Amino acid sequence: MHHQITDVPGVKVGNKENEQALTGCTVLLFEEGAVAGVDVRGSAPGTRETDLLNPVNLVEKVHAICLSGGSAFGLDAASGVMQFLEEKGIGLDVGVAKVPIVPAAVLFDLVCGNPKVRPDKKMGYEAAKAATTEKFGTGNVGAGCGATVGKMAGPEFCMKGGLGSASITLENGLVIGAIVAVNPAGDVREASTDRILAGPYKDGEILDSLELLERNYHPPMSAGSNTTIGVIAVNADLTKAEATKVAQMAQDGYARTIFPAHTMFDGDTIFAVATGGIKAPVDVIGALAAKVMERAIIDAVKSAESVEGIKAYKDLFHQHNPKQ
């Protein structure tokens, strides 16, 4: 077990990034198909095929999910994932073709690196091609490559976010995994201690985003300039409605670690996918999904590396206490 979302049977993950431009994409493949739902709670989302996941709509299974940087431009990466799956003969059989179903969500990372370089069809294809069940890198990889945290005092005072993952395995064989690209307007805290791990870093200290808001502070940001996007996967038998409920409950993981979450400046989105095999109550899956998402968010911040003068958690804490 890797303690990542690839512990869930039927899930592969591939990452591709441009380290110079500081952007990238993360692809999850479900080659046998997976029932999926979604919950969009931020007010500035960038998404694709989310209406299809509504339980009242026809298509039952998805074949991949694409998480990407690049703001709305990054939605193009999902086309590359579709191309890869079509070449492998994977998709919804409509008679004249097999159409791969690839929902997607993007985050805003254009303030770092080169804003003219964004994840495109080629990058999406390469990420899908690289997908594996093995352990993968976290931090400054995939959709987390250019992710940042804590912009309530202005983007120039942010810290580094990134890609994170975690999993929980129960005695009955149920595995719940999470993957998340952490790029919020607010700061990230450790739920058990309320310690701020990453946030607005100014004059040698991390500021409290909620305290800034209490002072009637007006964040110098534009709508959609942030966003945390993630996926929950479980090897359970779920309907689309049940998967949607799991996605809703998993948002608690955002709320426990990101302060504030779901703002007008974020497009916070969580997909939930079920690869099947085990019967389990939705409440159990949903409650543990929030827990594992919380762990994945912390993993993203603690794995991140500083870039372009943007401080990372490791710079402020890890060098003093390697156990943190």
**Residues 133-169 pLDDT 10s:** 999 999 999 999 999 999 999 889 999 999 999 999 9
Predicted confidence band of residue 323 (pLDDT cuts 50, 70, 90):
very low
Predicted confidence band of residue 294 (pLDDT cuts 50, 70, 90):
very high
Residues 315, 317, 321, 323: is their CA dihedral positive or negative?
Answer: negative
d(CA 260, CA 218): 14
Cis peptide preceding 155, ω within 30 of 0: no
Residue 170: phi, psi to the nearest 5?
-95, 165
pLDDT of 317 reads 86
Work out the average pLDDT over 77-92.
98
Number of H helices, E strands in the chain: 6, 18
Work out the average pLDDT over 108-121.
95
d(CA 191, CA 168): 17
State the CATH class of domain 5-318. alpha beta
Q: Between β-strands 187-190 and 258-259, what pairing exists: parallel, antiparallel or unpaired?
A: antiparallel
The rounded percent of the chain whose pLDDT value lies above 70 is: 97
Work out the average pLDDT over 180-204.
95
pLDDT of 217 reads 77
pLDDT of 227 reads 96
pLDDT of 196 reads 96
**Minimal CA–CA distance to 13: which of 32, 31, 36, 29?**
29
Average pLDDT over the chain, rounded to whole? 95
Chain centroid to CA 74: how far?
14
Predicted confidence band of residue 218 (pLDDT cuts 50, 70, 90):
confident
pLDDT of 95 reads 95
Tokens 């592969």 belong to: 12
Structure tokens at 268: 């916070």
From the number of C-beta atoms within 10 Å of its C-beta (0-12, 13-18, 19+), residue 274 rates as: buried
Tell me if 188 sits within 8 A of 301, measured CB to CB. Answer: yes
From the number of C-beta atoms within 10 Å of its C-beta (0-12, 13-18, 19+), residue 215 rates as: exposed
Q: What is residue 238's three-state secondary structure?
A: coil
Tell me if 142 sits within 8 A of 67, measured CB to CB. Answer: yes
Work out the average pLDDT over 250-264.
96
Lowest mean pLDDT among 73-82, 195-204, 311-320: 311-320
pTM of the model: 0.95
Predicted confidence band of residue 322 (pLDDT cuts 50, 70, 90):
very low
